[in-house]
Amino acid sequence: MKSMRSIKALRYAKRLIGFDSTSYRSNRAIAKYLEMKLTKHGFVVEVLEYRDPNNTRKVNVVAKKGSGNGGLGYFAHSDVVPADKWFTEKFTPFQPAVARERLYGRGACDMKGSIACMLAAAQRVSWDSLTAPLYVVVTSDEEVGFDGAKFVAEESKLYREMVDFKTRGIIGEPTSLEIVHAHKGSVEITARAKGKSGHSSTHAADNATLKMIPFLAEMKAIFDETENDPKWHNELFEPPTLSPNILVNDNSPARNVTASRCMAKVYLRPMPAIDHEPLLERMEKVARENNIRLKVHRQAEPFFADPSSDFVQQMLSIVHKKRPRTVSYGTDGGVFSEIEEKVVCGPGSIDQAHTPNEWISLEQLDRGTEIFEKMIRHWCCQS
């Protein structure tokens, strides 16, 4: 028989999965649900809306329960990646299903299961027992560039309060409830070459893809160098590299039509203690030399917390682990850099995130609720 904690978290997780909050859609409905639940359980809620580049309405929810300084902040996101391919036709990715002690559904692991655990845990801590505040931050667009987190950092009064009062933070991404003290960042570089469309048998056309080749050659050189030269490695991570990923698209309609435009994207994962700015300067130089427009989007900084710090050690004690670890993915923590003391810790394994059969174990929902409750009591209910 499952504990009441697991039943409560499972109920919340099912409800959250039921909202199709894929990043290209509005997340207004799930944000409204979170606002309602948080308000019901004693939180003061701040709702922050904006329009994304496609003019889609996006909503961030920032909430506070209790008063005083310090306390604990929990950070999550409500958007999920697309689920165009799903492992069964019996139910959709947004119809949660339980089987084999697992909860299936898009976002079950990343990261609606985590939000469910925090809602269940917070509900178990009464207002009267709080001696410091508990904050809950749920952003939009984490999966597509951290724009929700950036909006919160710029506009939220409660976030500014957390920064000023030295609130400690938990980024609730899936870590199998281990403590993560460092992760990589995110930089997206977009290069655009312009030509003239025409029949490839004539000289009247101007092939934009040919103009992109020198840039791509330099990207290949950067890829090889950063993969093989230890200068660009940080052995805290696996893989220990910047993991450059190169994508190209010319949208040419046929093999005998020259491309009027060509776009290349380069995605880097910056690491703590590695200065990647010289690489960006090389990209900018080759772009200028070849009349290519370049845009550098620094989406999120890498994150590092001293593994020997008192905060990290106390978090390790709560989860009964001896040492923290690192991960190679990024989180909103790279945007919320003003929260000086924070770790990444949440239920579920990153191995299940974004998969065609995404799931989280019921055991992780149970443990996640228990651990989040312990963290709340440790940082918000001290005598």
Averaged pLDDT for residues 259-282: 96
Distance in angstroms (rounded) separating the CA atoms of residues 333 and 4: 31
Q: How confident is the model at residue 6 (pLDDT cuts 50, 70, 90)?
A: low
Averaged pLDDT for residues 289-293: 96
CB 44 within 8 A of CB 65: yes
Amino acid at 112: K
Mean pLDDT of the chain: 95
Least confident of 17-21, 201-205, 218-222, 341-345: 201-205
Averaged pLDDT for residues 115-120: 97
Helix or strand (DSSP H, E) at 294: strand 293-300
pLDDT at 365: 97
CB 88 within 8 A of CB 122: no
Share of the chain above pLDDT 90, in %: 90
pLDDT at 1: 40
Query: What residue spans in the chain does CATH classification 3.30.70.360 cover?
Result: 186-300
pLDDT at 201: 85
CATH fit for domain 4-183+303-380, picks 3.40.1480.10, 3.40.630.10, 3.30.56.10, 3.30.1600.10: 3.40.630.10
pLDDT at 255: 86
| pLDDT above 60 (res 253) | yes
Averaged pLDDT for residues 153-182: 98
The CATH number given to 186-300 is: 3.30.70.360
Tokens found for residue 48: 């922050």
Q: Which residues, in sequence order, are bridge partners of residue 193?
A: 262
| pLDDT above 80 (res 276) | yes
Helix or strand (DSSP H, E) at 59: strand 57-65
Tokens found for residue 302: 């890498």
Report pTM.
0.93
Note the pLDDT tens digit of each residue in 37-74: 999 999 999 999 999 999 999 999 999 999 999 999 99
Least confident of 3-7, 283-287, 301-305, 334-338: 3-7
> Which are the contacts of 37, defined by CB distance < 8 A and separation ≥ 6?
12, 119
- The answer, yes or no, to whether the previous bond of 239 is cis (omega within 30 of 0) is yes
Q: How confident is the model at residue 205 (pLDDT cuts 50, 70, 90)?
A: confident
Backbone angles phi, psi at 93, to 5 degrees: -60, -20
Q: Is the dihedral of CA 196, 297, 111, 55 positive or negative?
A: negative
- The answer, yes or no, to whether the previous bond of 4 is cis (omega within 30 of 0) is no
Query: What residue spans in the chain does CATH classification 3.40.630.10 cover?
Result: 4-183+303-380
